[in-house]
């Protein structure tokens, strides 16, 4: 089964020309450098799971997680925000046997401030660290961003990495068990494993997996093995010694999966362990579910440096509403077909950005369900839902800033 999956992936990667037409207008576009949904409802994640060849996180798997750890699954798991995986069950087996494993995640430092979407994998990684009590390694790919952003200097990327590390620390990782590094500092330790991966990935595969073409700089082609390397425990001799048999779990947004599909393929060929993955969906832009929140478009994002007033203004002004055009229409009584994408009264939750953000940030399941129900029926107005969201996010961002301040001194 496993073998079949790998062969399939490899074949796909080696046939870029065959894959290209599928990515036409009606297909969602998802790779580490582009995310764009074909429709306003956002990415079709079930289709993506099939296309990428990963597995859905099932209620049974979550049950097992809960029984083993004795912890309630994080709201990101309860609500299907982390929705897909590769070999997560193997990590749970490892935990059940009380054997070691570690967690690896990362960030491409392309701007000084992080936004809400950037926080999702880090919040989730911290939760997993608390639950499993295992080492976490965090890679800052200043090299990757340098290759990909025409207007950035190496020094700027390195500085952004330092700025970002402060925000990452503020998420509250266990300082005893967390190692955060920039590629430009740590590259020598990664190099051995990067070489092994590089030897087993062809130019055709890189083109197929990442969509680069002949006018892209060679740095872009050369970089992917460096993102693969931290998935192998021998890249961290100060934590694991020379042991390359400690399994790795990688929490990530699903656009990063191409890197780790490549990593898993190469691992088999060089006799290293295939890392496990757990994937999140994207955090939508304020403007709607077609795109993800982007650090380079100020009005699409809420930054961790925003003031309470900026948060309020941005949500009120830009957050796309699935409600009706007028108060009267939103409240009007009538028949409601919940599954229909354009209801005659009430809000269409599928496209409503404030409601989506609430799914990510409001902890209380009962309250969330109640808001959804009332909003959909027209008993709540967009303004009221936004007002609730504004309070939730103002509190989240302010708490983060307090922590950040403390860490800065």
Number of continuous H segments (helices) and E segments (strands) in the chain: 20, 11
Report the phi/psi class of residue 228: left, alpha or beta, with left for phi > 0 and alpha for psi in -120 to 50. Answer: alpha
- As a whole number of angstroms, the distance between CA 108 and CA 123 comes to 16
Distance CA 285, CA 189 (A): 37
Report if residue 142 touches ligand TRP, rule: CB under 6 A.
no
Among 234, 235, 252, 348, binds ligand TRP (CB under 6 A): 252
Residue in 42, 73, 108, 323 binding ligand TRP, rule: CB under 6 A: 108
Q: Is 167 in the site for ligand TRP (CB under 6 A)?
A: no
106 binds ligand TRP (CB under 6 A): yes
Angle subtended at Cα 127 by Cα 122 and Cα 130, rounded to the nearest 5 degrees: 125
One residue of 105, 111, 164, 300 binding ligand TRP per CB under 6 A = 105
Among 139, 235, 324, 348, interactor with ligand TRP by CB under 6 A: 139
CB 171 within 8 A of CB 114: no
Among all chains, which residue has been given the structure tokens 């409802």? Answer: 41
Enclosing H/E stretch for 30: strand 29-31
Structure tokens at 83: 């929705």
Confirm or reject binding of residue 227 to ligand TRP (CB under 6 A).
yes
**In the bound complex, what is the minimum distance in angstroms from residue 392's beta carbon to ligand TRP?**
25
For ligand TRP, which is the closer residue by CB, 229 or 347?
A: 229
Which region among 61-69, 106-114, 261-269, 368-376 touches ligand TRP (by CB under 6 A)?
A: 106-114
Closest CB to ligand TRP among 31 and 350? 31
Residue whose CB is less far from ligand TRP, 95 or 181: 181
Residues 6+ apart with CB under 8 A from 251: 82, 103, 105, 121, 124, 125, 128, 277, 278, 280
State which of residues 75, 107, 115, 312 lies at the interface with ligand TRP (CB under 6 A).
107
Q: How far is the CB of 350 from ligand TRP (least distance, A)?
A: 27
Q: How far apart are CB 86 and ligand TRP at their closest, in Å?
A: 13
Alpha carbon of residue 255 to chain centroid: 7
Six-digit token string for 261: 């599909």
Binders of ligand TRP among residues 375 to 404 (CB under 6 A) are none
How many whole angstroms separate alpha carbon 189 and alpha carbon 258? 23
Q: Which is nearer to ligand TRP, 281 or 385 (CB)?
A: 281
Size of residue set near ligand TRP by CB under 6 A: 13
Q: Is 141 in the site for ligand TRP (CB under 6 A)?
A: yes
Q: How long is the chain? A: 409
Rounded Cα–Cα distance for residues 375 and 37 (Å): 25
Query: 129 or 252, CB closer to ligand TRP?
Result: 252
Q: Which 254-293 residues touch ligand TRP, going by CB under 6 A? A: 256
Quick check: 179 and 138 in contact, CB under 8 A? yes
Q: Which residues bind ligand TRP (CB under 6 A)?
A: 32, 104-108, 139, 141, 144, 227, 250, 252, 256
């Amino acid at each position: 089964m496993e073998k079949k999956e790998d062969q399939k992936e490899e074949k796909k990667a080696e046939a870029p020309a065959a894959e290209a037409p599928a990515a036409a207008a009606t297909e969602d576009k998802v790779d580490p450098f582009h995310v764009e949904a074909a429709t306003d409802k956002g990415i079709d994640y079930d289709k993506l799971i099939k296309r990428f060849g990963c597995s859905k996180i099932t209620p049974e798997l979550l049950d097992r997680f809960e029984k083993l750890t004795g912890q309630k699954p994080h709201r990101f798991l309860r609500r299907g925000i982390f929705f897909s995986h590769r070999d997560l069950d193997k990590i749970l087996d490892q935990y059940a046997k009380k054997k070691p494993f570690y967690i690896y995640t990362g960030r491409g430092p392309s701007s000084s401030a992080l936004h809400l979407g950037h926080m999702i994998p880090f919040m989730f990684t911290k939760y997993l660290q608390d639950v499993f009590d295992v080492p976490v390694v965090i890679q800052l790919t200043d090299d990757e961003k340098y290759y990909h952003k025409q207007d950035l200097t190496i020094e700027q990327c390195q500085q952004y990495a330092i700025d970002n590390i402060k925000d990452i620390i503020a998420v509250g990782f266990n300082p005893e068990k967390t190692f955060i590094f920039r590629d430009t500092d740590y590259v020598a330790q990664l190099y051995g494993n990067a070489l092994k991966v590089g030897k087993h990935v062809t130019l055709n595969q890189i083109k197929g997996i990442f969509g680069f073409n002949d006018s892209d700089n060679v740095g872009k082609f050369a970089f992917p093995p460096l993102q693969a390397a931290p998935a192998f425990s021998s890249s961290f001799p100060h934590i694991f010694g020379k042991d390359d048999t400690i399994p790795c779990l990688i929490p990530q947004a699903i656009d990063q999966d191409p890197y780790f599909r490549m990593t898993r393929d190469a691992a088999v060929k060089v006799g290293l362990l295939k890392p496990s993955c757990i994937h999140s969906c994207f955090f939508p832009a304020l403007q709607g579910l077609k795109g993800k929140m982007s650090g380079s478009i100020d009005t699409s994002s809420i930054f961790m440096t925003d003031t309470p007033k900026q948060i309020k203004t941005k949500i009120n002004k830009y957050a796309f509403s699935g409600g009706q055009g007028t108060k009267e229409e939103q409240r009007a009584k009538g028949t409601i077909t919940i599954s229909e994408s354009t209801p005659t009264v009430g809000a269409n939750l599928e496209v409503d950005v404030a409601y989506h953000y609430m799914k990510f940030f409001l902890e209380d399941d009962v309250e969330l369900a109640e808001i959804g129900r009332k909003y959909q029926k027209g008993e709540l107005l967009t303004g009221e839902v936004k007002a609730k969201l504004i309070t939730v996010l103002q509190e989240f961002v302010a708490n983060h800033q307090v922590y950040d301040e403390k860490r800065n001194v």
